[in-house]
Structure 1
């Protein structure tokens, strides 16, 4: 386990394969400073490259998931003449979203409270979203005269549809957990005090599963979202051909034949 001022990185014991990344600026609703963005990007890349990590949880400390960009730091840097805020989309947000969506293992967002702007977009980019009852989501870019970033223009409409995504972005309307579940923004809502346990339960299940197959599910869905039917069929064919030669597939077949529970190794 590694702990610092802005991010906590925790591995489940006994080789469970779950790594939890906790945004740790609760006094600022886990708003994203340059330091936190850089630490999170490093931690995500390390998790992606670590064969011992088979599922990643992203959550927040305190009462919020993530309030998005830290506007105090943002304004302060601009007023000082530092152009770093103008580069943060390219330097931080784009790589964060690309790392989450491109990671060859599942990422679960445990949305423990309000998620806004880039913070909400981190949840949208994750593979699964489990929310606490107190969670809510807000795309408030229009309120400050900006368009969406952090991949929200791509991810949000794929979760809730083009029309709904446009409404939420233009009206900057807060979506509570009940509505989020109804419109498909999250997959599950649980009581606040049950969130951590439920997220960990799901993460353990995924970590014990066929990780290489999960990676292909992610990649084929991404391909299909931007391709013709013929291209999607070709991608599925290539994935199934590759997966058919994996140890996990052989294990699953043997387990089925012998009426036992398979033990996957992610290979």
Structure 2
């Protein structure tokens, strides 16, 4: 994808499943027989997709869902891990930068990203949930940042920057040093998951939430995501000024006026994202 347009209705990825309806796009990795591992190609195609979503005005929310009872088992042992062992440093750095670019693209795209996690979410799969804006799980979900269990550092794809901001430094340190699994209920208690739903209800409950987000003030929601990203390394003074400017921009949107008119008329506002 090299043009600055993106048609969600005709988009047809090669390495994962894609659905689009009512402003909500759904992604599922499509290797359920192996718990949906990533390959070099699927990494790159996901990165390119999230970059393209910057230009997808019709897509308001992205749901990253599970497939076959599992979310993602991380990098494919035979198609990624094996080749990495044989690579020299330039190739390894090219790979690690590419995987990090997926997280950058997820955080930079204006759409709210919601993960619906069933079963295994490990390694890069855990990173994808971490890089999402909201996370929901079924009770049996197991999330593991297991890099140190394969002889690697826990500082992969932004984990040392993002994970402590979600669950705190001490808890993040425990998961990254030990590589142990985080269960759904523990993840809910720690603030990693926003909710836990029965497996048979998870997809529909998450889709309901996604549709609610998609029907909301999506320009303003994108501004919220932008500020959540950029205020990480701002001083309080700079953050307050940035939010003042962001809010002033939102006050010029038609959605802001629609909300006012609806309040005056004592009815629910109908947002259109402009």
TM-score under structure 1 length normalisation = 0.93
**SS in structure 1 opposite 2:262?**
helix
The match for 1:61 among 67, 71, 85 is 67
Indicate how the Cα distance of structure 1 residues 56 and 160 shifts in structure 2: closer, same or farther if over 3 A, else same: same
Select between 37-46 and 123-132 the one with higher mean Cα deviation.
37-46
Corresponding pairs, count = 263
**SS in structure 2 opposite 1:175?**
strand
Contact 1:133 1:190 (C-alpha < 8 Å) held by counterparts: yes
- Cα distance between partner residues in 2 of 1:95 and 1:200: 27
- Following superposition, the deviation at residue 84 of structure 1 comes to 4.3
Name the counterpart of 1:104. Answer: 110
> Could you list the runs of 5+ residues in structure 1 that have no partner in the other structure?
none
Q: Alpha-carbon deviations, 1:16-51, whole Å to 9, x = none?
A: 100111111112211110111122222223333211
Are 1:40 and 2:73 an aligned pair? Answer: no
TM-score under structure 2 length normalisation = 0.90
**SS in structure 1 opposite 2:224?**
helix
Name the counterpart of 1:27. Answer: 33
- Following superposition, the deviation at residue 64 of structure 1 comes to 1.3
**SS in structure 1 opposite 2:75?**
coil
> Could you list the runs of 5+ residues in structure 2 that have no partner in the other structure?
1-8
**Aligned-residue RMSD, C-alpha:** 1.7
Select between 3-12 and 107-116 the one with higher mean Cα deviation.
3-12
- Following superposition, the deviation at residue 215 of structure 1 comes to 1.2
Select between 238-247 and 65-74 the one with higher mean Cα deviation.
65-74
Contact 2:40 2:80 (C-alpha < 8 Å) held by counterparts: no
The match for 1:10 among 6, 12, 19 is 19
The match for 2:128 among 122, 125, 139 is 122
The match for 2:253 among 232, 246, 249 is 246
Indicate how the Cα distance of structure 1 residues 52 and 231 shifts in structure 2: closer, same or farther if over 3 A, else same: same
